[in-house]
Amino acid sequence: MRSVVSFTLVCFLAAPGLLAQDDSLEGRARRYLIDLIRIQSINPPGNETPVAQYLKSVCDREGIPSELMGGDTSRLNFVARLKGDGSQRPLLLMAHSDVVPADRSQWTVDPFSAEERDGFIYGRGAQDDKCYIAAELSVLVELKRQGMPLRRDIILLAESDEETGSTGIQWMIANAFQKIDADFGLNEGGFAFDAAAGQRLFHVQTSEKIPSRITLTARGTAGHGSLPRPDNAVVRLARAIARLAEADQPVRMNTTTRRYFRMLAKLPDYRWLAPHVGKLETAPTA
């Protein structure tokens, strides 16, 4: 699986300015990204099916089995699969095909033109999240063309409606989970940047924030909103919410953050961090 991961990184770091006819791994990723940005899959309303159709057209040309799936014909998911020998469970490459709205007045370029300036491709979805679709699709095509022997199936999923309701992935889980069932998946999250001495750091995200919903019930005397009594239920509820907002939220290191800071402190740019890492482990100094 090292080859798959390295291919993915190359796609994200594709050199700018490559000719449109360039059929290298990087050139294809660049071309796919430009094509995808120009498909306006703004959510709401979404209309991600044209993205799925584009992906299928590429896979059809390359002989990669793929299909469009979903409960809404205008918002279909795309699933493609390269077969391995089955000795290991599949790897799932994920990305979402919708983008948030773009106010043209706030852009210096047409947000759906995929215009190139100073070595960068500008457009809605260039970072969130069509770059991932382009990179992963390019990887899939490369694996197919090379005929690389795989120990596990490689699945590419481009799901609809990530930005507002996640109905695309929910439909897949409820109706076609066997199509995406995998040992692990690679999705958006994390980033890369250049440190001193030409070192490039890859930040890999290992988990995602999730919402915590709390139901608060307050009891007290009734009272008109213009003259709230001290024991009014609404007043008590407001006090409770204020206390929650003001409560101390202690720092708790987990395995990922502990190792992250420890390794980061070894780099020349971040040696100043080393004496502070231990302080993150104790509540008074964290």
Catalytic residue, from 153, 161, 162, 163: name it: 162
CA distance 278 to 272: 13
* Active-site annotation holder among 98, 136, 153, 159: 98
| 26 annotated active-site | no
Distance from C-alpha of 207 to C-alpha of 189, rounded to nearest angstrom: 9
Write down the residue that tokens 């090379």 correspond to. 146
Is 51 within 8 Å of 96 (Cβ atoms)? Answer: no
Q: Which of 124, 144, 100 is nearest to 36 (CA)?
A: 124
Q: Give the total residue count for the chain.
A: 286
Given the DSSP bridges, would you call strands 190-194 and 200-204 parallel, antiparallel or unpaired? Answer: antiparallel
Give the span between the Cα atoms of 160 and 166, in whole angstroms: 7
Please state, in angstroms and rounded to a whole number, the distance separating the CA atoms of residues 49 and 41: 8
SS3 of 83, please? coil
Strand partners for 115: 122
* Residue 53 falls in which region: left (phi positive, over 0), alpha (psi -120 to 50) or beta: alpha
72 in catalytic set: no
- Going from the C-alpha of 235 to that of each of 23, 209, 231, the distances in angstroms are 66, 31, 7
Residue spans of alpha helices (H) in the chain: 2-12, 25-37, 49-62, 130-146, 167-175, 177-180, 233-246, 255-264, 274-277
Instruction: Catalogue the active-site residues.
Output: 98, 162
